[in-house]
Amino acid sequence: MTADSSGGVSYTQVDPDYFAKRSLRRHARVWSLWALGVGAVISGHFSGWNLGLAAGGFGGMVIATVFITIMYLGLCFCIAEMSPALPHTGGAYSFSRTAMGPWGGFVTGLAENLEFVLTPAVIVFFIGSYLSNIFGTPAGFTPVWWIGAYIVFVGLNIAGVELSFRLSVIVTLLALAILAVFWVSALPHVDFSKFALDIAPEAGGSAFLPFGWAGALAAMPFAVWLFLAIEQLPLAAEESHDPKRDMPRGLLLGIATLIFSAYMTMTLNSAIAPGAAALGKSGEPLLDGFKTIYGEGTAKVLALLAVVGLIASFHTIIFAYGRQIYSLSRAGYFPTFLSITHGERKTPHVALITGALVGMAVLLLAWFGAGSEKGGAFIGGALLNMAVFGAMISYILQATAFIRLRLKYPRIDRPNVSPLGIPGAVATIAIAAVTLAFQLSDPVYRQGVYGAAIWYVAGLLYFALYRRRYLVLSPEEEFARRAAA
């Protein structure tokens, strides 16, 4: 065992075949990475974002989305510079480990872990909402939809990286095609004054901003859902043929696609019946829009296709949390058995199953603990805010890592350089901090945020009291130690 005085951690010796049992297989190229990034996010264009209408009205949601778009542009340019410079599966943890030492790596990785384990739980909740509405199943049957989805898509991710990426491309293209059908079909029904601006303003508010600027800021956590998880791409670095070239291209093409889709969906879905007031409480806003356009019967057929959009994100974020748990486990921050990969398929099956069990447990706790009688919007919103809590901490730390890498290691090889530089990273930090503050000020979803904070603190205590003494010199750790030397 060797000590590292820079972070108060110790590294333990591992067997010669340790990394042989934890190997991955390269497969992805630029379009696979684009699909992985877009697919991870696209469910947020089908459900979840609309809860921001209840917080800020249509105008508030538009303003919130503009701020959040700026934040994600800053973040994506930071990651597009860091990921080819540090092409390891660790992603956010790897960036912060090199920039801020073992503790910096862990606090960032733990925040991202919180985000990626909870995000599939949010998505599968909305999958259950859509399927329950389409097939008319009773409320008590809803958890069956969730369990079935986890079993199917964890199984597909275990089956092999080739299948995972091919399926990601297919379902992402289908999801975008369904959204395109909605955009074109909705245009003849658009009426902003009647539908998008139908929320009664409070004192001092207006039709555009019914709850004033405070409402716009309160809508920011929900606007995050239009882009959340695009940052997962670096987790595929060790499964990409040429991460230094393809990672920045896939990432920037992905955020451009998502910006276009986000504004089209938010604008058109809000500006047709049933209107912003009703959509702000809906678990399936795109289905409500299709009902307006095509009527009840045809809408259900289209909504069944719309589930593809939710599946795209569900499948790709399962991929992400599997790799994220794998990387932290391989380096010893999490128990090392979690990083063992399947002998033939070279997929992190233990991490994939463990993340599913944790996400499902939180979802069932929210369903039975909070009470399904509070409604889908409440449960979905609470889980969404828990995931966003982890994401905002992760974004602040990743942008900080970018700044420190620029200042600390100016000569590191950077195949791609952010045009926004340090100012872009500072903007990301500022907007993420404001979003986090308004999460804590929201009385409706505050309990969910507190629950996420307890999870986060428990993880920090676990590392401080025990795990920091058993780290392993994984590729991320080796790179960071060499850079420091």
Rg of the chain taking only CA atoms, in angstroms = 21
Predicted confidence (pLDDT) per residue in 270-328, tens digit: 999 999 999 998 878 998 999 899 987 777 787 787 788 889 999 999 999 999 999 99
For the whole model, what pTM was predicted?
Answer: 0.93
Residues 6 or more apart in contact with residue 185 via CB below 8 angstroms: 290, 293, 294
The answer to whether residues 46 and 286 touch, using CB atoms and an 8 Å cutoff, is yes
Report the candidate in 10, 8, 5 with the shortest Cα–Cα distance to residue 103: 8
Burial zone of 274 (CB within 10 Å; 0-12 exposed, 13-18 middle, 19+ buried)? middle
In this predicted structure, what is the pLDDT of residue 462?
Answer: 96
Predicted confidence (pLDDT) per residue in 449-484, tens digit: 888 999 999 999 999 999 999 999 998 898 888 887
In this predicted structure, what is the pLDDT of residue 1?
Answer: 57
Q: Using 50, 70 and 90 to split pLDDT, how confident is the model at 3?
A: low
**Percent share of the chain, pLDDT over 70:** 96
**SS3 state at 107:** helix
Across the chain, mean pLDDT equals 90
CA-CA distance, 113 to 107, in Å (whole number)? Answer: 10
Looking at residue 223, its amino acid is A
In this predicted structure, what is the pLDDT of residue 129?
Answer: 84
Locate 468 and state its tokens. 């920091």
Go through the domains of the chain in sequence order and give each one's CATH number: 2-484 (1.20.1740.10)
